[in-house]
Amino acid sequence: MDVSHLIEQKLTDLGLDQRDLANAAEVTESYISQLLSRKKPPPAPERTDIYDKLGRVLKLPPGKLAGLADLQRKQELKKKIENPAVPLFKEVRQLLIKKCRRSKQRQLRAIFEKEPFGEMERLITQKLVDVVKAFVREELGRENWLRAVARESGRSYKQMRVAVLDFLDADVFNITPDNCVGFLDPMIVSWDIDLASFGLEIVLNRRIASANVKRFEFVEKQAASVKEEPGLRKFLNDRSLSGDVTREEVEFLRCLYFKNGRRPTALYYYRELQNFRDPLHFRK
């Protein structure tokens, strides 16, 4: 049973319809329709607030929908990882180049075109998306901010919530032109990368974000005395699994200890990270 099947079953049992769900989750009926018809994958539980809202109206146990969605997404992720990465939409790449420091635009364009969706393009795209998503995620619970942004973009409040939820669920593999127009373009003023050290600087729109300059450095450090698990190293190197992992979360994963010669895989660390993030697994 997947998320759509469970929701449809509960709708029938309770005599509810898609409008009831849309009102409960504060999204459009179109969003619910696409979710139930499987045209839209279930959003990641840690990136959305709709599962709690839907669960209450559907009278489901807390965490039931979120857990099912997490399992469904992991199955899809395994399929995605096994398939070769496809190039970004043309509009997404054009935006990356446009926002790049002018003196490096030609050089970066040549790199991108030589190896479509290669390591460099994926690294930069993922980091830009991560930075904007971190800000948007903080603002999701602020109704006034959502309504203000909705007015600026000529959308209704529910349409804006849907756009935010879609963007928060996007990753480097499925970012769309709509994500760029709605979030990356207005929020990112420019970015620059040091091709020698891969240090990245991202300048955000000062009118939207108070901390408008973000810098990321790849710093060489003395090797730790504790041997790092190969599975953890593979997890950290795979941006599709560890794209938004924080320093605190990495330290937590490094502290995990395994006996009897059992070696965890990259997918194990991905699942452990989701467990670590889930508030249902901890007591206050």
Q: How far is CA 189 from CA 22, 99, 105, 208, in A?
A: 34, 6, 14, 11
The answer to whether the pTM exceeds 0.75 is no
pLDDT of residue 223: 46
Count of C-beta atoms within a 10 Å radius of residue 21: 24
pLDDT of residue 245: 87
pLDDT of residue 117: 65
pLDDT digit string, tens, across residues 103-114:
999 999 888 888
pLDDT of residue 139: 81
Is residue 272 within 8 Å of 253, Cβ to Cβ? yes
The residues of the chain scoring below 70 in pLDDT are 80-88, 116-117, 209-211, 218-227, 280-284
pLDDT of residue 279: 73
Q: How far is CA 150 from CA 130, 154, 157, in A?
A: 22, 6, 6
The DSSP secondary-structure symbol of 193 reads E
pLDDT of residue 32: 93
Amino acid letter at 89?
A: F
With both helix axes pointing from N to C terminus, report the angle between 29-36 and 157-168 in degrees, rounded to the nearest 10.
40
